[in-house]
Structure formats: structure tokens, C-alpha cells
Amino acid sequence: MNQREKVARFRLKNRNNKKWYSGAFHLFFNGTCLVTISLFSFIQISDLQIIELIIIPIMLVIGNLFVYLVHRYPLHKKYRYIHDGSYGQHTLWHHRFYTNENYQVVKKEDFQTLFFPPVVVILFSLFFIPGLYFFLNLFLPNNLLFLTLGMSSIYFILYETVHYTSHLPEKHWALRIPHLQKMRKHHLIHHDPKLMDKYNFNIVFPLFDNVFETRKK
């Protein structure tokens, strides 16, 4: 049995094991939570000063670094004292479902292995965002505080969007956007089983793959 046949069998098994799963609800739930956080945060802003917008590129860089580090280490390496659920979910499930030879999302049922599980979005919404609010509220003024919270959620949305388009068919209309086409090729290399723990960990833009010399073209 070749690699393509193994992936096809693995996909069929996982789809059949979760007949209760709804890809449409998964996407709706995650999207609704993240968009709500962003909108709620941004409507708290008043009398915005141009200089305060500096937080937007700062948050994009911080988000890029955060994703790089999480993706490179706990998602692709097992650690003795760290729960290996993330490693299992990502390396042993996502990367078996999508290899460089079977790369495309085919059905809405495949969203279960593509988007973050709803429980992660719930934890992000109920614990991370409130925790970040109470911490930043100690020293940031109102506008910078809510710009930071809103951009945290926006980056999450960007991640999920670019990751999704990276798994679309190469001729899909969305990939007429040059950056999305570039990131699809970038991510396709990452899904080579021989390269996945070494190269191309960024999803939205390859800033820290360039910085840490883990970008492979």
C-alpha cells in the first residue's frame, strides 16, 4: 500500500468514526466566537489616535512569533512533562490526514482535522482573553488595551483563514491572491512527512521562518 492509499484509508476511517460531526457548525461556532470578540473589543475604542495604531503591526509580529514557537515545538515535538494531546492532535492526526501527496480538504467533514477544535476557541474566549484583559488593564490605556484584545482574535481568524486556503485545490479562485498562493506552497512543503518537523512553521506570513532559517522553498 503506497502513501496515498494509506492516507485515503486513514481519512475514510476518521470520517466514519465521527458521523455526528458537522463541519458547518464547527466553522460557524469558531467564526462567531472570534468575530464577536473582535467586534466587542473594537467598539470599546473611542477618540483613537493615529499613533495608537502602532499596536496593530506589533500584534501581527507577536502573533507570528507565538504561532511559530507553538507550531515548531509542542505541536511537533513530544515533551516529557507536557501533555501530548496537542502533539497527537497535530502531528499524529492532522499530518496523517494531510500529506504533501494528499493535501487538499475535500469535504466539510474534513474541517475536524483542519480548524482548531471548538474547545480551544472556548478556552481562548473564556480564559485567555479575560486573563489578558485583566493583566493589560494594569498598565495599558483603554484604546491600546482593546486594540490588543481585538487583534489577538483577528490574528486567530487570519491563522484559520490562511491555513484553510493553504489546503484548497491549487486552481481555487481564492488562490488568485498572490500571498495566499505563496503561503499554500510554503505550507505544502511543511506537510512532507520527512520535512514537517524541520521547516515552514509559519502560516500567515513566513517572518520567523526567515528569522530562524527554517524556511524551505
Question: Model confidence over 15-56: pLDDT tens digits?
Answer: 767 778 899 999 999 999 999 999 999 999 999 999 999 999
Is residue 122 a part of any domain in this protein? yes
Name the percent of the chain lying above pLDDT 70. 94
| Structural domain boundaries, residue 138 | 3-13+24-43+52-211
Q: Does the residue 19 lie in any domain?
A: no
**Spatial contact of 132 and 148, defined as CB atoms under 8 Å apart:** yes
* Separation between Cα atoms, residue 104 and residue 199, nearest integer Å: 20
Tell me the average pLDDT across 58-80.
92
Q: Please count the other Cβ atoms lying within 10 Å of the Cβ belonging to residue 167.
A: 20
Q: Mean pLDDT throughout 71-88?
A: 78
Residue written as cell 505544502? 188
Query: 68 lies in a domain?
Result: yes
Question: At 87, is the pLDDT very low, low, confident or very high (cuts 50, 70, 90)?
Answer: confident
83 confidence band (pLDDT: 50, 70, 90): low
180 and 186 Cβ atoms separated by less than 8 Å: no
115 lies in some domain:
yes
* Sign, Cα dihedral of 20, 126, 84, 154: positive
For residue 156, what is its C-alpha cell?
486567530
Does residue 126 carry a pLDDT above 80? Answer: yes
The per-residue pLDDT for 82 is 62
Determine how many CB atoms are found less than 10 A away from the CB of residue 70. Answer: 14
Instruction: Judge whether 199 and 207 are in contact, CB under 8 Å.
Output: no
pLDDT digits (tens, 9 = 90+) for 141-193: 999 999 999 999 999 999 999 999 999 999 999 999 999 999 999 999 999 99
Beta carbons of 75 and 67 less than 8 angstroms apart: no
pLDDT of residue 50: 97
Locate 87 and state its grid cell.
Answer: 502533539
The answer as to whether 18 is a domain residue is: no
Tell me whether residue 7 is in a domain. yes
What is the number of structural domains in the chain?
1
- Pick the range with the lowest mean pLDDT from 3-17, 104-118, 172-186: 3-17
**Quick check: is 136 in a domain?**
yes
Reported in sequence order, the residue ranges of 83-184 that DSSP labels E, i.e. its strands, are: none
How far are the Cα atoms of 37, 54, 129, 147, 191 from residue 209, in angstroms, in the given order? 29, 23, 27, 26, 15
Measuring CA to CA, how many Å separate 158 from each of 6, 50, 142, 151, 168? 31, 23, 24, 10, 16
